[in-house]
Each structure stands twice: as C-alpha cells, then as structure tokens.
Amino acid sequence: MIFDKIRKQAIAEWATLQQSQQPRILLGTATCGRAAGAMSTLEIMNQELARHNIDAIVTQVGCIGLCYIEPLVDIVKPNRPRICYSSVTPKIIPQLIEDYLIKDNPRPDLALGTIGDGTIEGIPRLLDLPMLKPQVRIVLRNCGHINPEDIKQYIANDGYIGFIKAINMGPERVLGEIKKSELRGRGGAGFPTGQKWEFCRRSPGKEKYIICNADEGDPGAFMNRALLESDPHSVLEGMLIGAYTIGATHGYIYCRAEYPLAIERLSIALNQMREYGLLGDNILGANFSFDMEIKEGAGAFICGEETALMASIEGKRGMPRPRPPFPAVSGLWGKPTNINNAETWANVALILQKGSEWYDGFGSQTSKGTKTFALVGKIERTGLIEVPLGIHLRDIIYEIGGGIADGKQYKAVQTGGPSGGCLPASLLDSPVDYDSLVKAGSMMGSGGMVIADEDTCMVDFARFFLSFSQAESCGKCVPCRIGTHQMFAILERITRGEGKLRDIEQLEQLSQLVKTTSLCGLGQTAPNPVQTTLRYFRDEYEAHINKKKCPSLVCTRLINYYILPGKCAGCMLCLRDCPAKAIVGGRRLVHIISQEKCTKCGACLDVCPERFGAVVKVSGEKVIVPSKPIPVATSKALKNKG
Amino acid sequence: MSLHEQLALVLAPYRGEKGATIPALQAVQKALGYLPEEAISETAKSLCLSENEIYGVATFYAHFRFEKEGEHMVRICSGTACHVRGSPRIVETLEEKLGIHSGETTKDHKFSLERIACFGSCALAPVMVVDKTIYGRMTTTKARQILDEYQDTK
Ligand SMILES: Cc1cc2nc3c(=O)[nH]c(=O)nc-3n(C[C@H](O)[C@H](O)[C@H](O)COP(=O)(O)O)c2cc1C
Ligand code: FES
C-alpha cells in the first residue's frame, strides 16, 4: 500500500534527524510564544548562528504549554539529552549559543529541564518538574516536539495509523471502538461521542457533513488554538476517521478569525493531506472520498453553538434554532451533520491509534481520558495543561499552577467561561469531571480555568460575564435577550453602590427564568456566574448593597484614593502623572487628591514609590487629609495614623 | 482602479457561490478596510441576494465595520483573564485619554479603540494590541506612554 511507503520514509527521516550530528534547536513559535517575543529570539538566534558559522537545524515547533516562561528554546547536541531553556529573550541568545554550542557549557542556571534519555549535571528532568509531573499529555503529546507544518513528522510519530486501522476495521467496528472508549465531547456539554456518531451514521441520506468546532469563544481559553497551531494533523486525522465512519462526504473546520496562525497551519496541513492522498477521491484505495475546508468566523460568540455555527457556514446570521431536529438528522444545508469540538476529534485519532482499552486507563469512572485546560488569571504558572479527568482542583491550582500569584489569597476558580460558575475554596477538593462540576453549579466547559484572588470582586466578576452574555445574545428569544440585559442592569446598579435589598431576590428569580426558558445553551447557562457567586459569595453582594462597600476594592464608584499625609514625601511623581489633574501639592508639600476630580484610574498608586507607600485605596471609609498642601515635615509631626 | 472595479475584482471568486456571504464580505473588508455602502450593494448583486440580507449578516458579526478605521488600531483585551488582571482600568484610561468610547475613532482619524474578547495570549494579561504589535502585562501608565509614542510618530 502507498501509505506504508510514505510512513517508512517518514520514520527513516525522523530517525536521521534524531541522530543528526549537527546541533538542533527547537523554538516554540505558537501565538503565546510570539506574544512573549519568540520571533525576535529567532531572528537574533539565526544571526548568531551565522556569525559563528554554526550549521544547526532550527525548527519552529508549537507550544508545550509553559506560557509563563516563554519564549522556550530547546537545544539538542549529538548524544546528549535535549535541554529546554526558558525565558530566552534575544538578550540571552548570544551568550547561550556561545556557552553551550561553542564552549560546551550547558548553562544549568538558564536551563529548565532535560528531555529524553540521559542526564546532565545540575539540570532536572523536565517531566519531573512540579508543573509537568501531575500532567498526562496524550492529546498534546506532539505539541512542542514536532514541526506542525510538516506532515511527515506527524506520520513518523504514529500519525494516521489510527486512520489506517479504521479503514481496515470498517465503519461498524470503528463506531464500536469509539462507543467502547466512552469518549465524551470536549466542547462543553460532554455528550457521548459514539452515540452522536451513531445517530448520524444511521440517518438516511447520501450527502452528510462533519464539522470541527474550533470557534473557542470562551474568553480566557486557548486550548484549541494551541492544539491547532502545534499539531493540526491530530485533529484532522480524527475528522478523517469520523467522516469514514459516519459516511460523510465533506467536512468543515470552523475556526475563529482571531486565530490567524491556527488557520494558516490548518491550511498548510490540508494541502499536505491532499498531496499525500489523504484527502480527495478514493482515499488510499479504501473506496472512500472526502474533502474538507476551513471556514473563518467573524466575531460572534454564539457561533460556537452548533446550530448557529451551521447557520453561519450557510452564510446567514448566526442564530440558533430549536432542536429537534438534531443536526444528526437535519444539520448543515438540511443534511445529516455531525459536529465535534477540535479536542474531541484529536481524542478520536488517539483512541484508534492506541485502542479503547489503553484509553480506559485514563480518567474517572464517568469521565474517561484527559482534558486540556487553559490555566490563567491570578496564578503563579499560567499555561496550557492536560490532566486526567477526575484530578482534584487543588492539584491543578497548587501543584501544577504553583498557587496564587504574588502571595495573595485564593478566592475562586471560574470554569466553563460565561456558561460556567465560580467555585470557592471549600470546593477545591472536588474532582474535575463533567458531573462533579455541574453538581457544584459550574460546568467543565471547553477548558478555560480562570483563577481569581482576593483582589477580584465577585459581584463585578458576575457583572463582567453578564455584560458578555447580554452583548453576545443573538436576540432571537425574549428570555435571553431581555433577561440577560435586566440581570446585567441590576448587577451594574449594585456595583455602582445603588443596589437595593430586593435586587438579590430579583436576580435569583431572573436567573431561574432565563435558565429554564431560553432557546439555546447561551441563555440556558448565562445565569450560572450569577447563581454561583450568589451561592458562594453572597456576603460580597450584601456589602455592596447594605454598606455601599466593595470589599475587594474593585468597583470604581465605591472606592476612593487618598494620599496619607504622614507618608507623602512631596515628590511630585503622582501629581505629574495624574491624567485627571486631580492632585494638588508641590515639592516637599503633602499632595492631596481632589475626590471630585479623581477618575480612580489608580495611576497614583502605581507610581508612588514603594518606600513611601503613601497612596491608599479604600472603600466605605474616609481618610483625614489636610485641606490644603502643607509642608511635609509638619505633617510628619502630626503623626497621622496611616 | 475605481471602487467599482476593485469590488468586481474582489467579488469575482464568490459570484453565485452558495453560502459565500461571509467570506465575500471578509474579502471586501480585507481589501478596503471597511464596508462602504457600495460594497453592500455590489456584494448583494454578485451573490444574487437582497441588500437587506447582506446588511443583516454584516451587522450581526462584530468583525464587520462600516466606517474607516483610524491610522492606528488600538485593541484592548476584555477577556476573563485580562479582566481579572485589570483591563477595565486600562480601557477607561484610554477612553479618557483619546476622548472616545471603545468602538469609535478619534476625530483626527489617528486612533480607533476596540475591545476584543480574547487574543489567546491570556498568560500575558492584561493584553493590548496596537496595529500588529502585542503588548503584555499592561498598566494604565504603560498604556498611556505607548499611545504617546504612536501619537508622536506621524
Ligand atoms: C453559546 C454556546 C457557545 C459554544 N461555544 C463552543 C465553542 O466555542 N467550541 C465548542 O467546541 N463548542 C461550543 N459549544 C458547544 C457546541 O454547541 C457543541 O455542543 C459542541 O461543539 C459539540 O462538540 P462535542 O460533542 O465534541 O463537545 C457552545 C455552545 C453554546 C450554547
Ligand atoms: S483573556 Fe485577554 S488574551 Fe485571553
């Protein structure tokens, strides 16, 4: 068979590369790496290599998920384990190249860890590091290790083996395998994938479609982006298997336009598939013809919802419609359609490659396998992680994430984006799986995990999500269009200090109403952030309403900035920096903020040198300040309490 | 090339295609920077749809704009990670500085200000993007300084 030859060749090339006598350098240039400056690092690296006449093989790879210390550069010298260096700014590059590549000093002080066999004195093994040790990277296995723009590197690492197995097994047995794996959808709701495929396969009709949902609208989540940028073929192989099993003739990848690099790498990947005969007519002689194309989103969160997404592909306004009929019966262009999330598709390829029995070794009783999460917010180590389902929140936040940033106190973890909820410290020992998170009032969602600390106001947080949901509501059904708007207005009122006691009750009623009567998942889940914050952080609502106080010092209307006369050194820094010109004073004169003019931007607090610490932010209290600027010395004598 | 000819060229590949409204509008916007009235009518003609339908689609999606954008496009992330790390203060500061609301363009056409749901660079929150340059770990002071730099360069 032709594929055998391709595979043998790819494996041979990969082996030659691994045993190469030239040094090899791998640089992570996914979007997160680029935002941290990876492209400048690359430029300087190429210059330095040329300057020293070093013939190295430089490969751009995807993301291994350690976003907090990017750019990441891995260097492999012959017969040595690969060394991963973190925070490699252009400044460090010349020294690193000279020290390791020329003088053979591996610079353990700059290294993060080693990958592969063998050890190097003074450098730990990468996988032993606390942020990687609890992780199980099976979906992300290739991310950061292979060149995402080279199909042969994917093939050399068992790529498309799953598809080959599938065509040898025949559709019915593949379907059985997926059902046996108990894979559930990774897009949020967790519907059993095998069952969904079966509906579509059994649906009558010659023309059928499959769709990959890569809309990833949840703000604060980037799992699908990282996967598509780092290993696009793992998703595409899954789609190929799905199309073969379901009997689909055409596929679509609906990717949000905010991900230009993912779109670029997907289109490269699709072209390579065509070149290798993995798309088109009579693929690998299996009497199966299939092709797919990319559809770019246009900035509407609701288009992540499956029926809205299909309307969008059809070129219409992205409005959801009631189900049934389900897409498996009548989907895109009225034809049977199967839609899965990008990560679900990647799991499919893996299950076929390794078998459902192997897959059964990961995850919990009701939630099999692993899940990727974007760990962000006020956490020490932000990044993209993959963990077995059933792991406890505490292990994710404290072991992998390294705890709360800047030594602050944990307040909540928000999962599931605008559809999810906020979970307090008392629930940190809950397992992370579909059912436990729903029980706690949240949901797993697609994998955003945002950590909030003591400086996050939970009322403002709820307001933030409702502002998002009401803006993104498509407006088709009344409960969602008007209900979310009403809820947002009430929350806005509370955060401005104009809340009434009845507001809490009204929020609870509206939440129930919007949840039970909305047409689609957006409205049905939009109240979750409000309900969970009311359930777990009610005292914060009450402080805003009863005491006109924002305990976390966030809500602008309820806070004031003051300059402590006993601490102000009269240095003029804040006075000059205040964009509202709200500060009076002079050199060696105590500065005073005019509360009428202050816009509460906080610039004064940012610029006040730490050694003075004269600017304070308070809520619900007053600080006594002089009525006009007085000399600094006299005020010190006054010994203000500050 | 006149606007009419330019539109004809851009729209040619989509003529009569099924479901091509969004890609066609995206192509037009890529070429012109925004969707002037004539773009709507020409797109309608080449796709054999009513102007109403085209306008309905274009107004539904946040990416389509009907006014020319400023010389510099300032985008501030309002995603969850950036929100928790203080992006609202940055939006307020820049709105005040430029004297416009987000979604608007300054009178001198120098700056447009937009809020975006997420750039996917959440690890560097709060994130601001000016034209194509990403700035991470923003503060209000840094944001104002960066705009000053763009203001000074003509
Ligand atoms: C408002 C809303 C937004 C959604 N956004 C996404 C999304 O961005 N990505 C995604 O995969 N699923 C999203 N979904 C879920 C999809 O409707 C659908 O259930 C999913 O793509 C099915 O794939 P799965 O079974 O593999 O999870 C969203 C649902 C709703 C109600
Ligand atoms: S939340 Fe701001 S970049 Fe993702």
- The verdict on residue B96 lying in a domain is yes
Question: Contacts of residue B89 in chain A, CB cutoff 8 Å?
Answer: 601-602
If asked whether residues B98 and B127 sit together in one domain, one would say yes
Q: Is domain A17-128 in CATH 3.40.30.10, yes or no?
A: yes
The Cα–Cα gap between A525 and A543 comes to 26
**Residues A397 and A410: beta-carbon distance below 8 Å:** yes
Residue A94 is predicted with a pLDDT of 96
Average pLDDT of span A84-99: 96
Domain count, chain B: 2
Residues 65-124 of chain A whose Cβ lies under 8 A from any Cβ of chain B: 67-68, 70
* In the predicted structure, residue A258 carries a pLDDT above the cut 90: no
If asked whether residues B43 and B77 sit together in one domain, one would say no
Structure tokens at A219: 């703000």
If asked whether residues B87 and B23 sit together in one domain, one would say no
Structure tokens at A186: 């990774």
If asked whether residues B52 and B28 sit together in one domain, one would say yes
Q: Is domain A459-546 in CATH 1.10.260.40, yes or no?
A: no
DSSP symbols for A365-386: SSSBSEEEEEEEESBSS-EEEE
Average pLDDT of span A65-77: 94
Cβ distance B97 to A468 less than 8 Å, yes or no, reads no
* In the predicted structure, residue A637 carries a pLDDT above the cut 70: no
Question: What's the predicted TM-score (pTM) here?
Answer: 0.94
Residue nearest to atom 1 of ligand 2 (CA): B79
The boundaries of the domain holding residue B22 are 3-60
**Residues A488 and A466: beta-carbon distance below 8 Å:** yes
Residue B141 is predicted with a pLDDT of 87
> pLDDT of A125-158, one tens digit each?
999 999 999 999 999 999 999 999 999 999 999 9
Counting residues of chain A whose pLDDT is more than 90, the rounded percentage is 92
Average pLDDT of span A393-416: 96
Structure tokens at A232: 């696009």
Architecture per CATH, A559-640: 2-Layer Sandwich (3.30)
- The verdict on residue B65 lying in a domain is no
Cβ distance B26 to A298 less than 8 Å, yes or no, reads yes
If asked whether residues B89 and B145 sit together in one domain, one would say yes
Residue A558 is predicted with a pLDDT of 97
CATH 3.40.30.10 domain span(s) along chain A: 17-128
Q: Shortest CB distance from A599 goes to which of B61, B79, B96?
A: B96
CATH 3.40.50.11540 domain span(s) along chain A: 160-359
Average pLDDT, chain B: 92
Average pLDDT of span A536-554: 97
CATH topology of domain A370-456: Ubiquitin-like (UB roll) (3.10.20)
CA A358 to chain centre: 27
**Residues A329 and B33: beta-carbon distance below 8 Å:** no
If asked whether residues B55 and B89 sit together in one domain, one would say no
DSSP 8-state assignment for residue A284: G
> pLDDT of A315-362, one tens digit each?
999 999 999 999 999 999 999 999 999 999 999 999 999 999 999 999
CA neighbours closer than 13 Å in the CB half-sphere of residue A222: 31
Residue A635 is predicted with a pLDDT of 54
- The verdict on residue B67 lying in a domain is no
* In the predicted structure, residue B113 carries a pLDDT above the cut 80: yes
Q: Which residues contact A170 (CB under 8 A, 6 or more apart)?
A: none
> pLDDT of B62-102, one tens digit each?
999 999 999 999 999 999 999 988 899 899 999 999 999 99
Average pLDDT, chain A: 95
Counting residues of chain A whose pLDDT is more than 70, the rounded percentage is 98
The count of residues in chain A is 642
If asked whether residues B143 and B92 sit together in one domain, one would say yes
**Residues A353 and A158: beta-carbon distance below 8 Å:** yes
In ligand 1, the atom with minimum distance to the C-alpha of A218 is 8
CATH code for position B91: 3.40.30.10
pLDDT band at B153 (very low <50, low <70, confident <90, very high): confident
CATH 3.30.70.20 domain span(s) along chain A: 559-640
> pLDDT of A495-527, one tens digit each?
999 999 899 999 999 999 999 999 999 999 999
**Residues A464 and A472: beta-carbon distance below 8 Å:** no
Angle at A216 between CA A475 and CA B31, to 5 degrees: 80
- The verdict on residue B66 lying in a domain is no
Ranges A390-399, A433-442, A551-560: which has the least confidence: A433-442
SS3 percent helix, strand, coil of chain A, rounded to 5, is: 45, 15, 40
pLDDT band at A51 (very low <50, low <70, confident <90, very high): very high
**Residues A73 and A113: beta-carbon distance below 8 Å:** no
Q: Hey, of B14, B17, B22, which one would you mutate to test binding to chain A, going by the most A CBs within 10 A of its CB?
A: B22
> pLDDT of A431-445, one tens digit each?
999 999 999 889 998
Residue A638 is predicted with a pLDDT of 54
Average pLDDT of span B111-117: 92
CATH 1.20.1440.230 domain span(s) along chain A: 459-546
The Cα–Cα gap between A16 and A27 comes to 20
If asked whether residues B76 and B53 sit together in one domain, one would say no
If asked whether residues B85 and B112 sit together in one domain, one would say yes
* In the predicted structure, residue A633 carries a pLDDT above the cut 80: no
Phi then psi dihedrals of residue A269, to 5 deg: -60, -40
If asked whether residues B96 and B125 sit together in one domain, one would say yes
Average pLDDT of span A157-182: 98
> Domain spanning A160-359 has what CATH number?
3.40.50.11540
> pLDDT of A203-244, one tens digit each?
999 999 999 999 998 988 999 999 999 999 999 999 999 999
The Cα–Cα gap between A147 and A29 comes to 10
Question: Contacts of residue A298 in chain B, CB cutoff 8 Å?
Answer: 22, 25-26, 61-64
Residue A636 is predicted with a pLDDT of 55
**Is B80 touching ligand 2 by the criterion CB < 6 Å?**
yes
Q: CB pairs below 8 Å between A and B: how many?
A: 144
pLDDT band at A642 (very low <50, low <70, confident <90, very high): very low
- The verdict on residue B33 lying in a domain is yes
